[in-house]
Amino acid sequence: MVGEISAPLNSWSRFTFMLPLLFPMVTFCVMRSGMPYVSPSCLVYAVLGASSQLIGGIMLIMAFQRSNFAQSIIFHKLEVVFAAVIGALFFQESPSLLAWFGILVCSGSI
């Protein structure tokens, strides 16, 4: 599929096909618990996170186009490790030893 459509279209389709499931789920949660307060800074972080996820997906698909699966999947598997390290360095969100073990197990599995 990587060779059939462009990387941005491939990544965008993953998000677009989830939209029909998102709206009923959000509606249910708001009706059940009420509308939560979301600070503007939280919305900024959410947009930055979503943008980063979309760009990361595009970059992964582009890596698949340039090299074989075995080489490209390394970046995908190390994504969780990078997120944990960045969280520990910049947000003081240090995973526990059990969490680090889970991260390593997930990064090592195929």
Considering the domain boundaries, does residue 60 fall inside one? no
- pLDDT category at 91 given cuts 50, 70, 90 is confident
- pLDDT category at 28 given cuts 50, 70, 90 is very high
- Residue 76 lies in domain: 68-109
Considering the domain boundaries, does residue 30 fall inside one? no
Are residues 71 and 29 in contact, defined by beta-carbon separation less than 8 angstroms? no
Considering the domain boundaries, does residue 21 fall inside one? no
Considering the domain boundaries, does residue 85 fall inside one? yes
Considering the domain boundaries, does residue 95 fall inside one? yes
The backbone torsions φ and ψ at residue 3, rounded to the nearest 5 degrees and listed phi first, read -80, -15
Higher-confidence residue of 83 and 76: namely 83
Are residues 107 and 77 in contact, defined by beta-carbon separation less than 8 angstroms? yes
**What's the predicted TM-score (pTM) here?**
0.59
- pLDDT category at 3 given cuts 50, 70, 90 is low
Considering the domain boundaries, does residue 43 fall inside one? no
Considering the domain boundaries, does residue 94 fall inside one? yes
State the number of CA atoms in the 13 A half-sphere of 99 facing the CB: 11
Name 38's Cβ contacts closer than 8 Å, sequence gap at least 6. none
Are residues 66 and 2 in contact, defined by beta-carbon separation less than 8 angstroms? no
Number of structural domains in the chain: 1
